[in-house]
Structure 1
Amino acid sequence: MATPTPQPQQPNQPPNQPPQPVPAGVHQGAAANGHAYAAPPNAAPGANGQPGGAPQWQPNGQAPHGAGAVPAQGLYQQAPTGSLHFTRMLQSEWTKIRTVRSTMWSLLVMVVLIVGLAALLGATVSDNDGSGNPDPSVSLALIGVMIAQIAAATLGVLTISAEYTTGMIRSTLTAYPRRITVLAAKSVVFGTLMFVVGLVACYLAYLVCDAVVASDVAGSSSGKEVVKGVVGSATYLALIGLFALGVGTMLRHSAGAITTVLGIMLVPSIFGGFIPGKFGDWVVDYSPMMLLIKMIAPADDADLGGGLGPWPGMILMACYAAAALVGAATLIKSRDV
Structure 2
Amino acid sequence: MSTHQPPMPQAPAATDWQAAPGGPYPGYTSPIPVVRTHLGHALASEWTKIKSVRSTMWTLGVFLLLVVGIGLLTGAVVEANSDSESLSGENMLSFGFFGLLLGSMCIMTLGVLTTASEYSTGMIRTTATACPSRGRVLAAKSIVFFTVAFVTTLASSGFVAMLHSSMLGNAGADSPTGGQWLKATVGVSLYIALLGLLSLLIGSIIRHSAGAITIMIGAVLAPLVIALFMAASSMQKLQEWLFEYSIPSQLGAFYDNGLTGSGPSGWDPLWIMLGLTAVVYAGAYALLEKRDV
Partner of 1:209: 164
Give the TM-score normalised by the residue count of structure 1: 0.76
Superposed, which structure 2 residues align to 1:145-294 within 5 Å?
145-213=100-168, 215-275=170-230, 276-294=235-253
Compute the displacement of 1:277 (Å).
2.1
Matched, 1:140 2:95: yes
Q: How many residues align?
A: 282
| Distance in 2 between residues matched to 1:156 and 1:220, nearest whole Å | 35
Compute the displacement of 1:198 (Å).
0.3
User: Which shifted more, 319-328 or 85-94?
Assistant: 319-328
Matched, 1:334 2:268: no
Q: SS of 1:143's equivalent?
A: helix
Compute the displacement of 1:123 (Å).
0.7
Q: Could you tell me the percent identity over the aligned residues?
A: 37
Contact 1:294–1:304 (CA<8 Å) still a contact in 2? no
Instruction: Go from structure 1 to structure 2 and tell me whether the alpha carbon gap of 1:23 and 1:188 turns closer, same or farther (over 3 Å shift).
Output: closer
User: Which shifted more, 206-215 or 109-118?
Assistant: 206-215
Compute the displacement of 1:242 (Å).
0.4
Structure (1 or 2) with the larger CA radius of gyration: 1
Counterpart amino acid of 1:127? A
Give the unaligned 5+ runs of structure 2.
Answer: none
Partner of 2:10: 21
Instruction: Go from structure 1 to structure 2 and tell me whether the alpha carbon gap of 1:126 and 1:89 turns closer, same or farther (over 3 Å shift).
Output: same
1:235-291 Cα offsets, whole Å, 9 max, x none, are 121011001001000011111010011001111123224332212211221222211
Instruction: Go from structure 1 to structure 2 and tell me whether the alpha carbon gap of 1:243 and 1:76 turns closer, same or farther (over 3 Å shift).
Output: closer
Instruction: Go from structure 1 to structure 2 and tell me whether the alpha carbon gap of 1:111 and 1:271 turns closer, same or farther (over 3 Å shift).
Output: same
Compute the displacement of 1:19 (Å).
3.9
| Distance in 2 between residues matched to 1:133 and 1:114, nearest whole Å | 25
| Distance in 2 between residues matched to 1:120 and 1:101, nearest whole Å | 28
Superposed, which structure 2 residues align to 1:318-333 within 5 Å?
318-333=274-289
Partner of 2:262: 306
Q: SS of 1:296's equivalent?
A: coil
Contact 2:97–2:252 (CA<8 Å) still a contact in 1? no
Hey, which of these two has a bigger chunk of helix by percent?
Answer: 2
| Distance in 2 between residues matched to 1:228 and 1:258, nearest whole Å | 27
| Distance in 1 between residues matched to 2:102 and 2:42, nearest whole Å | 32
| Distance in 1 between residues matched to 2:217 and 2:120, nearest whole Å | 20
Q: Which has the higher contact order (CA 8 A, sep 6+)?
A: 2
Give the TM-score normalised by the residue count of structure 2: 0.86
Partner of 1:120: 73
Give the unaligned 5+ runs of structure 1.
Answer: 1-15, 27-34, 41-64
Q: Among residues 93, 102, 111, which one is paired with 2:64 in the alignment?
A: 111
